[in-house]
Structure 1
């Protein structure tokens, strides 16, 4: 941190007063630095971050426009994550979510750069992401699925079948499905990255990919909003990496220094996931059922260590 700038001598009558004021200015500057995260300038969660959000009256949330997890519906921020997060923050005394739309791959960098306070995008909890940010406890679980052309001409059922039949697989940018496909033996050159869900369906219809991989709930929503498209969604499956089954569990995302805020969030979230009826009442409209309620035994610490 730079040293304080020299003080203007017009404000001081004696040398001793000048030194005293320099010391005071230095102390205030150090105190200000202690309230921000090193290297980012983002506010540090010193236990008062929630209080500051309450005073401000809103929480800034980042989302990526991926239905049904977080998307804009007219003037409303809609989807699974914003709906749950709105309920949680309301219980915490923060009335409003103020959204920022960004690409999925820039959600974590934007969070770390203090563009928003929390990511509301149904982001999967993975060890790689856990090394950079803090996740809430899981707010949903969902199996993986493949969207394929109608009739499934190549008989694709999972990533292993894609590898065996030389299929080209579409995945979203920065999504976990790319690692699942490669672990199952799909060559890197056969994994095509797409920016948005609709891009995946369009690429499938154009024959640029043979399958589009995403969570089953996302693909069901995509098929539902493209009813006339000649595609189908296969049966859900659970991918494996090195023999370990990969559960697609997602949660809210916080900066590394925001542990107290995350913990307060988790306490309110548990009241929702602990009541399947309330959970479905809140987000059933987006295709979430009791099957997507995370079991109590599925914890973020385990998912981060997997």
Structure 2
């Protein structure tokens, strides 16, 4: 008879061995992302995943001793469930750490910072920031903290949800929404790349750290991820990746000084 896990520590060790040990033994890290949130992650002309998250994922895999990376398309609404169902090993897709998510998955130290802005159609002067969103059609990606904010904190908002920021901003440009809450990087990038007649208004609404999520009770896997990210911050690798994708921004400089433990960081929820 196979003995049951008689203690929480034993179960934690088994889970951890099945995460870090399995990906090393199998030689493949399964990474979830949206494939439609440039410049963080998207598909190039040959349908290959590219972007900041993709470069970070490949470098992290190499540093934790895994030869191959398999990218799996998903969305924010399904990331947590996918981790729990073992559809992928880690989400590297611009997730923020919230108390609700931390009840179901664990997080690495931050690997990026994201600033969310209000976007409107070019020439629309009726909205100058979050304070003007009451009663408006607000477009957001489902499963994000922006979606929660729009539903819970914007009075009488008509919240429109989409699978990714590309769809959010495209519909905004077509006049099917009055405003959108998305990453400032994403909005500016997509406006330039796709010729969308949209623009950010007001200051950055909120800046919050982005972390990698994975199955709970995986301390060795978490340590391996944290070490890889810390080393990438220290040796210039993250600076080079971010300068390539984020308009010359040095993400390593932005991250220095942030507490590495997700539990020690302020909540991303507005």
Deviations 1:132-177 (A, max 9, x none): 11111111112211221112331x23211222xx322111111111
Q: Structure 1 segments of 4 or more deviating over 4 A?
A: 34-38
Residue 295 (structure 1) aligned with residue 244 (structure 2): no
Residue 106 of structure 2, aligned match among 130, 134, 141: 134
Q: Secondary structure at the match of 2:204?
A: coil
Aligned alpha-carbon RMSD (Å): 2.7
1:168 corresponds to 2:127: no
- The CA deviation at 1:197 is 2.0
Partner of 1:125: 97
Per the TM alignment, residue 114 of structure 1 is displaced from its structure 2 partner at its CA by 0.5
Output one character per residue of 1:96-127: Cα deviation in whole Å (capped at 9) or x when no partner. Answer: 11121123211111111001111121111222
The aligned counterpart of 1:84 is 56
Matched with 1:14 is: none
Determine which of 180, 186, 189 is the counterpart of 1:212. 180
Q: How many residues align?
A: 260
Long gaps (5+) in structure 2: none
The answer on whether the counterparts of 1:172 and 1:196 sit within 8 Å (CA) in structure 2 is: yes
Matched, 1:238 2:205: yes
1:160/1:186 contact within 8 Å kept: no
Equivalent positions of 1:191-230 (< 5 A) are: 191-227=159-195, 229-230=196-197
Normalised to the residue count of structure 2, the TM-score between the two structures is 0.85
Alpha carbons of structure 1 residues 184 and 52: separation in structure 2 relative to 1, 3 Å: closer
* Structure 1 runs not aligned, ≥5 long: 1-25, 240-246
**1:55, distance to aligned residue in structure 2 (A):** 2.1
Displacement after TM superposition at 1:237 (Å): 2.0
1:93 is aligned, of 65, 68, 74, to 65
With structure 1 as the length reference, what TM-score do the two structures score?
0.76
3-state DSSP class of the match of 1:44?
Answer: helix
Contact 1:134 1:259 in 2 (8 A): no
Distance 1:286 1:36, change over 3 A: farther
1:185 corresponds to: 154
- Does the residue aligned with 1:201 lie in a helix, a strand or coil? helix
Structure 1 distance, partners of 2:123, 2:233, is 37
Aligned residues of 2:107 and 2:214 also touching (Cα < 8 A): yes
Partner of 1:10: none
Larger radius of gyration: 1
